[in-house]
């Protein structure tokens, strides 16, 4: 019986070696491994994996094509619902989505859906990609603000429906968080991100970089002056959050966004880049999400000794399981139930230590997680010369502050309904700009729903 075969392991770079380079950690399946793994799928009649995919990829259908060796057909099945399969196969939290609901996971290990998706996407890219299928042009123009996951997903769907779509990107490279946030060793830029964005361009989507919507052009300019009939705002998460503890303005304290933007977007890890990056001897990264793992593993690769400081326990770590596992393998130290209370500086104003307090788990809070409480008198210092804060973000005020009649909630996130419609007719929003920092795939889901809503709105 097929289900008797265990999950096919994926080949990875040796942790000792990869701790010193920025090459991709995971090698992915080859054809033989993909064929074997695909044979484990039961092709359920009511596939729960599809329901748990934020963009609704027809998972058993694409896996059936892999099983038949029809990789191009498998890619075509995925392309109907996802414009970024090579990205999602690498960065989705599969364990809480498709794979988390796989029936095989009840008694054993779920089908490696993410690894199969990645295999199909990589094979397809190496073999000419998926032929473009799109409706005839309908002459209607839609502007998309931001070329991150939500904007790319929204733009792709609209382009397929025949819309004339222009994406406005503030940075000098398209991709949003895929460029500035997720490191090369997890998501290679030239090999994966750029071709994936090119495939969105191949649908006819125009991408204009270096345009700050809210400054260079406002949303009102797009609608009134530039001839767009609808606007999708997928401007992403915003300003980094800090803890509000003493010492956060010392030299040597960085937001994970700054640290990662320097390394990822500006490629500061590469000696050929002009952008500097600070490499501490001992680094504390505060936080437990994917961004914290990315910052920690980047610092490690640059040559620092790294400790992750998190106020709850390993069970509550919000990061993908695979990232935590990889970080541990690479030699990153984890200090759980530890919360910073102060950053201590030397006489010149540079970081010398992170003062923390021990925590214990108390009663479950509103989120159902047991909330950490400080243990009185348990303060201790971790000697470090660099602290990276990975505590999430609060919304960027640029668009909300310059768009008439665009409602925001009390944190500053744009208010949008399930379809992405905002308080302003013709203006839709989705992704982190609406939800606060979340995942690539949730942002893509929001972008797709908004594309459908924009289509309905413009068909009126």
What does the binding site for other proteins look like in residue numbers (CB under 8 A)?
A: 170-172, 180, 209-212, 215-217, 236-240, 242, 248-249, 251-252, 254-255, 257-258, 261-262, 265-267, 272-278, 348-349, 396-398
Which residues, at least 6 apart from 237, have a Cβ–Cβ distance to it below 8 Å?
Answer: 177, 392, 393, 395, 396, 432, 433, 436, 437
CB nearer to other proteins: give 223 or 454.
Answer: 223
What burial class does residue 404 get, using C-beta atoms within 10 Å of its C-beta: 0-12 exposed, 13-18 middle, 19+ buried? exposed
CB nearer to other proteins: give 128 or 276.
Answer: 276
How distant is the alpha carbon of residue 292 from its chain centre?
Answer: 12
> Distance between CA 100 and CA 81 in Å, rounded?
20
CB nearer to other proteins: give 120 or 266.
Answer: 266
Q: How far is the CB of 304 from other proteins (least distance, A)?
A: 15
**Listed residue (400, 12, 24, 351) closest to 182, CA to CA:** 24
CB nearer to other proteins: give 81 or 294.
Answer: 294
Q: How far is the CB of 282 from other proteins (least distance, A)?
A: 18
CB nearer to other proteins: give 14 or 274.
Answer: 274
CB nearer to other proteins: give 266 or 317.
Answer: 266
CB nearer to other proteins: give 349 or 364.
Answer: 349
CB nearer to other proteins: give 27 or 242.
Answer: 242
Q: Show contacts of 270-277: CB within 8 Å, 24+ apart.
A: 277/302
**Listed residue (261, 252, 250) closest to 388, CA to CA:** 252
Q: How far is the CB of 106 from other proteins (least distance, A)?
A: 42
Q: How far is the CB of 346 from other proteins (least distance, A)?
A: 12
CB nearer to other proteins: give 44 or 398.
Answer: 398
Q: Using only C-alpha atoms, what is the Rg of the chain?
A: 22
Q: How far is the CB of 445 from other proteins (least distance, A)?
A: 23
Q: How far is the CB of 317 from other proteins (least distance, A)?
A: 23
Q: How far is the CB of 16 from other proteins (least distance, A)?
A: 28
Q: How far is the CB of 248 from other proteins (least distance, A)?
A: 7
Q: How far is the CB of 212 from other proteins (least distance, A)?
A: 6
CB nearer to other proteins: give 53 or 170.
Answer: 170
Q: How far is the CB of 147 from other proteins (least distance, A)?
A: 13
Q: How far is the CB of 393 from other proteins (least distance, A)?
A: 8
> Distance between CA 182 and CA 26 in Å, rounded?
14
Q: How far is the CB of 183 from other proteins (least distance, A)?
A: 15
Q: What angle do CA 263, 267, 268 make, to 5 degrees?
A: 65
CB nearer to other proteins: give 272 or 366.
Answer: 272
CB nearer to other proteins: give 180 or 310.
Answer: 180
């Amino acid at each position: 019986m097929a289900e008797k075969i265990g999950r096919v392991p994926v080949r990875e770079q040796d942790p000792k070696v990869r701790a010193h380079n920025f090459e991709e950690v995971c090698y992915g399946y080859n054809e033989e491994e993909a064929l074997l793994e695909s044979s484990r799928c039961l092709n359920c009649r009511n596939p729960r994996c599809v329901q748990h995919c934020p963009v609704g990829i027809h998972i058993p259908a694409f896996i059936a094509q892999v099983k038949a060796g029809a990789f191009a057909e498998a890619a075509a099945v995925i392309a109907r619902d996802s414009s970024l399969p090579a990205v999602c196969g690498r960065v989705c939290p599969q364990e809480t989505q498709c794979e988390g609901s796989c029936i095989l996971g009840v008694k054993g290990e779920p089908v490696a859906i993410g690894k199969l998706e990645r295999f199909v996407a990589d094979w397809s890219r190496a073999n000419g990609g998926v032929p473009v299928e799109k409706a005839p042009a309908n002459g209607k123009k839609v502007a998309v603000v931001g070329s991150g996951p939500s904007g790319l997903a929204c733009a792709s769907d609209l382009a397929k429906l025949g819309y004339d779509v222009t994406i406005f990107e503030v940075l000098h490279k398209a991709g949003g968080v895929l460029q500035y946030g997720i490191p090369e060793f997890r998501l290679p830029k030239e090999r994966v991100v750029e071709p994936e964005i090119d495939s969105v361009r191949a649908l006819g989507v125009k991408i204009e970089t270096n345009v700050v919507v809210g400054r260079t052009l406002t949303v009102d300019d797009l609608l009134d002056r530039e001839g767009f009939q609808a606007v999708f705002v997928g401007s992403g998460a915003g300003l980094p959050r800090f803890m509000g503890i003493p010492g956060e303005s010392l030299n040597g304290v960085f937001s994970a966004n700054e640290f990662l933007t320097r390394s990822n977007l500006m490629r500061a890890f590469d000696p050929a880049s002009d952008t500097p990056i600070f490499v501490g001897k001992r680094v504390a990264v505060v936080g437990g999400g994917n961004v914290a793992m990315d910052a920690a593993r980047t610092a490690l690769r640059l040559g620092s000794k790294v400790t992750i400081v998190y106020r709850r326990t390993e069970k509550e770590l919000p990061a993908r399981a695979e990232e935590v596992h990889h970080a541990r393998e690479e030699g990153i130290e984890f200090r759980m139930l530890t919360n910073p209370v102060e950053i201590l500086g030397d006489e010149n104003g540079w970081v010398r230590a992170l003062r923390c307090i021990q925590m214990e788990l108390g009663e479950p809070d509103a989120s159902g997680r047991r909330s950490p409480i400080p243990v009185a008198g348990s303060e201790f210092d971790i000697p470090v010369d660099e602290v990276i804060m990975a505590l999430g973000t609060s919304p960027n005020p640029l668009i909300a502050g310059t768009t008439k009649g665009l409602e925001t909630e009390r944190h500053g996130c744009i208010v949008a309904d399930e379809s992405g419609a905002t308080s302003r007719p013709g203006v839709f929003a989705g992704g982190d700009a609406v939800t606060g920092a979340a995942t690539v795939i949730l942002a893509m889901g929001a972008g797709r729903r908004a594309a459908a809503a924009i289509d309905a709105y413009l068909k009126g």
